Structure 1
Amino acid sequence: MPKLATEINNNSLADDDGAKVKDQTPVPYFKSFKTPILWSKVFNIWLLHTLFLGLGPALVLTKISTLVFGYILTLAAVLGVQVGAHRYYCHRAFKANFAFRLLIVICQTISLQKDIYDWCRDHRVHHKFSETDADPHNSNRGFFFSHMGWLMLSKHPEVRRKGATIDLSDVIADPLVRLQRKYYYFVWVPIFWFAIPVAVPMYFWGESFYASFMICVIARYTITLHITFLVNSWAHAYGNRPYSEKLIPVEASCRHMLMGEGFHNYHHVFPNDYSASEFGPMDVFNPATAIINFFAAIGWAWDLKKADPKLIRKIAAESGDKQAQYQLGTRRWIV
């Protein structure tokens, strides 16, 4: 039975008494700062997308089993970010045993979106200083910047300054995080991001190196990145705000493509909710929640935090968009 998180931690936008949501009117971008372009990152992103656009021959030549394996890897990578880096390590939305933590650290490595320590630092500073110069992917700097441009530019000085104030002692206390961080680019990434995805199709059903690499590495990696990128861009631009009109994040209009992370207006009000939405996996397309529920059922996860429905309704009534709240009465599959 999920634990009701009626008390929201310091990352939450709810006051200590749960009575209202703090106004986070965005601070304008510091115009006088000229952001240096990181040309090596620009080249890497260009190369990845150039290879992705040349997938045609691989799709023709590859075996169906390789496509299925590539899809499984994509799901694993996305869930490694959503369940592992995001809901478990960053927001502490539930507790997990060693075996579950090892699984999500491996899956998060498959995503190649920085090691868990760095990922949590960027995400915690994003929540605490959302839509300001200290936000790594500040949506006030435009859709492209918040989507992927922020990775091609040097960080704003405020990101570094505020990021240094974020407490990550709980994250680095996990020996798996320390192990991943120490050997991330020399052991974890070569094995789990590249070698295993390429070797499995070649060894077990005789796939070519070319098809294995293009489907299970290039296609999988590109799709995984953009699912995460859309949470930073689209979910801060296009949708509605039933829980708080004071916040930039929205319940994204493309939320069913984001596998449970598109309910962003709710998430920024109640960041410690293990489902990252008001609802469960049967109400919305939220496989990350279903995975957590499964591992809770077998005893690998426990203390699942869920915001009190009374607190949700109270904050929504005081701060949310009324028309958007009316739509909450309709099944999320069709709104």
Structure 2
Amino acid sequence: MIGMLGITAGAHRLWSHKSYEAAWPVRLVFMLANSAAHQGSIYQWTRDHRMHHKYTDTEMDPHSIQYGFWYSHMGWLFYRKSQKLREASRTIIMNDIENDSIVMFQHRNNFILSHLFCFILPTLYGKYMWNSYWIGYFYFGVVRWVVLLHSTWCVNSVAHMWGTTPYNPRISSRQNMVTSLVAAGEGWHNYHHTYPYDYRASEFNWNNEWNPTTLLLDGLSSVGLVWNKKVGHPAK
């Protein structure tokens, strides 16, 4: 869950969409949690996600569902980026990210940080708790990482293929409860693509729809560590 929140609360809602603001200790913790997720640096993740929203369902969408389930789920990571994709990436405004010292520190040191928090520390944890490096490395490192990867990828694939479209039926993103369950509330995706700036990534609060990421952000907000939470206003 720590790594997942580094993606959902950090790379996605904070840095990609700027849907809220956070104190530097929160941003630092989210950066380290993001490193534990080992899904590329926040800089790379944000660039690709902003491309996805700007060019959704086109050939300039990095993981367009138009190329099929497996491509959007994970296949896109194994293909050489086309010239159009490379050109599209240069249209993405990244000044805010480039001026963020925490993000750029991670970007410069991503290899070390991701391996430290994704594999080395879990390996040492296994040794400390069960006197077994193998348990720590395999279960808390590799297995945890693979489960986290596929949970995140479900947002790109499952939530663009199956579910309802109550907010905008003209786009591929769907409301998918299963994706929300495995991805900490990120499956209310038709709403998210309609109101991408909403810090909840959902019309409703965490007590009405499964959304532990929103629960965390509301908790941090209650003690003054998160503020300026943006909310969408769907027509009734």
Quickly name the TM-score band, shorter chain normalised: over 0.9
CA contact (8 A) 1:238 1:253 kept: no
Query: Aligned match of 1:287 in 204, 208, 212?
Result: 212
The amino acid across from 1:218 in the alignment is V
Contiguous gaps of at least 5 residues in structure 1: 1-74, 315-335
What do the CA deviations read for 1:136-194 (whole angstroms, capped 9, x no partner)? 00100000000011111111222111111100110121101111111111x21232112
1:234 maps to amino acid: V
Deviations along 1:33-69, one digit per CA (max 9) or x if unpaired, are xxxxxxxxxxxxxxxxxxxxxxxxxxxxxxxxxxxxx
1:133–1:156: 8 Å Cα contact kept in structure 2? no
CA distance in 1, matches of 2:37, 2:182: 17
Deviates more, 1:233-242 or 1:153-162: 153-162
Q: CA deviation at 1:256?
A: 2.6
Task: Work out the CA distance in 2 between the residues paired with 1:95 and 1:287.
Answer: 18
Q: 1:221 aligns with which of 126, 142, 145?
A: 145
Contact 2:5–2:213 under 8 Å retained in 1: yes
The separation in 2 between residues aligned to 1:215 and 1:281, in whole angstroms, is 30
Aligned to 2:235, what secondary structure does the other structure show? helix
Identity %: 34
Aligned equivalents of 1:174 and 1:259: distance in 2?
Answer: 25
Query: How well do the aligned residues superpose, as a CA RMSD in angstroms?
Result: 1.1
Q: Offset of 1:253 from its aligned partner?
A: 4.7
Paired with 1:114 and 1:98, the residues of 2 have a C-alpha distance of 21
Q: 1:7-46 to 2 correspondence within 5 Å?
A: none
Question: Is 1:246–2:181 an aligned residue pair?
Answer: no
- 5+ residue gaps in structure 2? none
Q: How many residues align?
A: 235
Calculate the TM-score normalised by the size of structure 2.
Answer: 0.97
Higher Cα Rg, which structure: 1
Q: Which residue number in structure 2 is paired with residue 83 of structure 1?
A: 9
Give the counterpart letter for 2:148 in structure 1. T
- Structure-1 residue corresponding to 2:203: 278
Q: Return the letter of the residue paired with 2:235.
A: R
Aligned position for 1:150: 76
What is the distance in 2 between the residues matched to 1:194 and 1:258?
A: 21
Q: 1:230 aligns with which of 154, 157, 163?
A: 154
Distance 1:116 1:90 in 2: 9
Cα separation, 1, equivalents of 2:32 and 2:108: 14
Pick one of 293, 303, 307 that aligns with 2:232. 307
Query: What secondary structure is seen at the aligned counterpart in 2 of 1:306?
Result: coil
* Offset at residue 196 of structure 1 (A): 1.1
> Partners of 2:11 and 2:22 in 1: how far apart?
13
Report 1 or 2 for greater relative contact order, CA contacts < 8 Å, sequence distance ≥ 6: 1
**C-alpha separation in 1, matches of 2:58 and 2:124:** 44
Task: Verify: 1:207 aligned to 2:131, yes or no.
Answer: yes
Alpha-carbon distance in structure 1 between the residues aligned to 2:40 and 2:195: 25
* Distance apart, 1:108 and its partner CA: 0.4
Distance 1:193 1:125, change over 3 A: same
SS in 1 for 2:166: coil
2:100 is equivalent to residue 178 of structure 1: no
